Amino acid sequence: MLARVVTLARWTLVEALRERILYVVLVFVGVLVASSCVLTPLAPGAQRKVVIDFGLACMDIVGVLVILLTGCGLVRREIERRSLEIILTRPVSRLEYLIGKWLGLVATLVVLVAVMSVAFAIMLRVSGVTLRPSRRRRSPRSSPYRCSPPGTCRTPSCASPTVRR
């Protein structure tokens, strides 16, 4: 049973990679480069966060869309070519067929995410954005969550004795 499932998964992976799925990855890289050039001037001081968040969101959306479209396309083509009937006449149950197709699509997604991650890392390196934040530590006095020294705070939310409620 396991050998049949692995065989179906391997052939699903091969069929999915034969499609033009890698062109989608190239489009992904193009969108990332264009977005980093367009979006970073819009958020001064937060360029790193914008580029990383946008890149990860693109990877998520592209991965889901590619897997949905590829999975539907593979089953449709097998029905059109009548290869599904040939597979199911063998000693392969429907459950084995579905598990094999699912594992093949998972393997395709792993390959796709790996390629997109490498492209994303290269794009980050080229644009000069680092994944790790700077190691500068703030002093406790410069924390944005602390009030000013007593008597100098003028915001109504502050518990300073100089503010009248």
**Residue 165 has what pLDDT?**
47
pLDDT tens for 108-134 read 889 888 888 888 888 778 777 766 665
pLDDT reading at 22 higher than 70? no
Which residue is listed with tokens 């990877």?
Answer: 59
Nearest CA to 105 among 79, 143, 75, 147?
Answer: 75
Q: How confident is the model over 29-73, as pLDDT tens digits?
A: 777 767 776 777 777 777 777 778 878 888 888 888 888 888 888
How would you label 11-39 residue by residue, b for 16+ Cβ within 10 Å and e otherwise?
A: bbbebbbebebeebbeebbeebeebbeee
For residues 2-13, give the mean pLDDT. 86
Burial class (CB in 10 A: 0-12, 13-18, 19+), 102: middle
In the numeric block, which tokens belong to residue 78?
């097998």
What is the overall mean pLDDT for the chain?
75
Most confident residue range from 1-10, 24-33, 152-161:
1-10
The stretch 3-32 carries a mean pLDDT of 80
Reported confidence tier of residue 136, pLDDT bands at 50, 70, 90: low
What pLDDT, on a 0 to 100 scale, did the predictor assign at position 3?
Answer: 87
